[in-house]
């Protein structure tokens, strides 16, 4: 059914590769529009550095799994497709985990359990299911890059706000004089919800304004 | 009968797909594991070394020891349950660093602490691994008042030298009176108690045997 829908859509608009790339950044931004993958968005966006690292790790897994799913799309029968996608995603998550450990012990320490949780990030699975399994490798790469960068931007904009308000710092550098009272709540989970809500509000306001004009 | 026949070729395709992907993924993981292993090990060893020098003030060299046959011997790479002796530039013994772990609020907490044989005190403390709640439990890593506890925490032995004189205990923040008490963190009670448990049980285990064999650590091993 969804296959049909997709088919009709592509007949109407015939999106180019650039469209596939652009859509993830703004029109179908995974966090601000689709509200997907909220677990890492809320949990690991407490500092700008963590958010950036998590965003890049997720984007990498997304890109690699999209490529492989797209390559194997005619080889995987639809009955076992979800299991296959999870297997592919889990593999790249494990690889990412090793690579991060090889880059920095401290970074791995601060991302902790959330690296392994990329496996169940519904953003990645949804791109594999809704896009990569039905499109060519080239388009899948563009889609993954767009969605990945959209995810990085979203995580980073949350992380930056939370770190500035919660720690009074940006990338670990103190921004305010000694008297600054940190908003501890901003680095706690609740702060993640507040910041996400604020960004969603801003995003939707801009969208509304655009639609009106 | 008929049904089975139509399913049969399908399940072959499924098995082929799953097995194929499984093998491919397995290979990818093994290659990455092998490729990153040496670098990860060096980084870990470096981080541990840094932590050892941090918890034994004044130390710049270290020698791992393992406890075997009732005595301490210089440890090999493969030995587990190792303690580290720290020395300064001229080879003077500064103290021991001991790795300990225990259940925290979120997950296992791994710490390393420095021990001075002469003072019979904990002289340094560093969290190697913890997944405690950001902003609350993770204060065990950063809170300066809490970390102050471990610059001179009393873990001296009783007269028989077979157990600690006073058990390490956590008290409410700001009410520390005795040298063997840990000033807890408000809002991180479970995490600070976890640290107490980890240090107390590790001290109970190591202090008596370290004390018995203390002469071993006095000279730097020149091998």
Predicted local distance difference test score (pLDDT) of residue A65: 94
More confident residue, A201 or A171: A201
Average of per-residue pLDDT across A170-188: 79
Buried-exposed string A178-207: b where 16+ CB fall within 10 A, e elsewhere: eeeeebeebbbeebbebbbeebeeebeeee
B27 CB near a chain A CB, below 8 Å?
A: no
Identify whether A4 is part of a domain. no
Share of chain A above pLDDT 70, in %: 92
Predicted local distance difference test score (pLDDT) of residue A25: 81
Per-residue pLDDT of A48-100, as tens digits, reads: 888 898 899 999 999 999 999 999 998 888 888 899 999 999 999 999 999 99
The verdict on a CB contact (< 8 Å) between A105 and B25 is no
B9 CB near a chain A CB, below 8 Å?
A: no
Are the CB atoms for B111 and B127 separated by under 8 Å?
yes
Identify whether A176 is part of a domain. yes
Predicted local distance difference test score (pLDDT) of residue B205: 87
CA dist B41 to A100, A101, A116, B77, B115, Å?
13, 9, 20, 12, 26
Identify whether A1 is part of a domain. no
Q: How many independent structural domains does chain A possess?
A: 1
Residues 39-98 of B with CB under 8 A from A: 39-40, 43-44, 46-47
> Which residue range is the domain that position A204 belongs to?
16-212
Does the structure's ipTM exceed the value 0.85?
no
Look at residue B125 and give its three-state secondary structure.
Answer: strand
Per-residue pLDDT of A6-25, as tens digits, reads: 444 445 556 777 888 888 78
pTM, rounded to two decimals:
0.73
Identify whether A199 is part of a domain. yes
Identify whether A183 is part of a domain. yes
Predicted local distance difference test score (pLDDT) of residue A8: 47
Average of per-residue pLDDT across A107-130: 83
CA–CA min distance A207, chain B (Å)? 34
Smallest Cβ distance to A105: which of B18, B47, B136?
A: B47
CB contact set of A52 (below 8 Å; sequence gap of 6+): A152, A155, A156, A159
Task: Tabulate helix, strand, coil % of chain B (nearest 5).
Answer: 45, 25, 30
Are the CB atoms for A114 and A37 separated by under 8 Å?
no
Smallest Cβ distance to B18: which of A80, A184, A187?
A: A80
Low-confidence stretches of chain B (pLDDT < 50) are 1, 221-223
Are the CB atoms for A31 and A41 separated by under 8 Å?
yes
More confident residue, B177 or A156: A156
């Amino acid at each position: 059914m969804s296959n049909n829908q997709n088919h009709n859509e592509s007949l109407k608009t015939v999106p180019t590769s650039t469209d596939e790339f652009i859509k993830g950044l703004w029109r179908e931004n995974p966090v601000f529009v689709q509200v997907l993958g909220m677990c890492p968005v809320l949990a690991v966006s407490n500092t700008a550095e963590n958010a950036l690292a998590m965003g890049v790790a997720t984007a990498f897994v997304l890109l690699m799994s999209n490529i492989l799913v797209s390559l194997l799309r005619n080889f995987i029968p639809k009955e076992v497709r979800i299991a296959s996608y999870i297997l592919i995603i889990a593999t790249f998550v494990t690889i990412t985990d090793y690579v991060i450990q090889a880059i920095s012990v401290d970074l791995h320490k601060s991302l902790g359990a959330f690296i392994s949780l990329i496996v169940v990030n519904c953003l990645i699975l949804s791109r594999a299911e809704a896009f990569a399994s039905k499109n060519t490798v080239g388009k899948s790469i563009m889609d993954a890059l767009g969605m990945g960068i959209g995810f990085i931007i979203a995580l980073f904009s949350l992380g930056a706000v939370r770190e500035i308000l919660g720690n009074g710092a940006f990338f670990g550098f103190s921004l305010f004089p000694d008297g600054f009272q940190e908003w501890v709540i901003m680095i706690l989970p609740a702060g993640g919800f507040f910041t996400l809500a604020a960004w969603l509000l801003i995003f939707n306001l801009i969208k509304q304004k655009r639609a009106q004009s | 009968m008929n049904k089975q026949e139509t399913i049969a070729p399908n399940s072959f395709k499924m098995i082929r797909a799953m097995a194929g992907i499984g093998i491919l993924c397995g290979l990818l993981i093994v290659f990455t594991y092998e490729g990153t292993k040496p670098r990860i090990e060096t980084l870990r060893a470096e981080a541990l070394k840094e932590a050892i020098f941090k918890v034994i003030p004044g130390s710049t060299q270290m020698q791992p020891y393992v406890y075997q046959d009732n005595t301490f011997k210089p440890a090999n790479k493969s030995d587990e349950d190792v303690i580290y002796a720290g020395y300064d530039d001229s080879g003077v013994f500064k103290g021991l660093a001991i790795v300990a772990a225990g259940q925290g609020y979120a997950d296992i907490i791994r710490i390393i602490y420095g021990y001075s044989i002469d003072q019979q005190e904990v002289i340094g403390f560093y969290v190697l691994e913890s997944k405690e709640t950001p902003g609350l439990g993770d204060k065990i890593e950063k809170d300066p008042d809490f970390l102050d506890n471990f610059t001179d925490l009393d873990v001296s032995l009783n007269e028989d030298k077979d157990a600690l004189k006073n058990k390490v205990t956590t008290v409410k923040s700001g009410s520390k009176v005795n040298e063997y008490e840990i000033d807890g963190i408000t809002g991180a009670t479970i995490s600070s108690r976890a640290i107490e448990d980890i240090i107390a049980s590790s001290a109970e285990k190591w202090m008596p045997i370290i004390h018995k064999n203390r002469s071993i650590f006095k000279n730097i091993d020149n091998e």
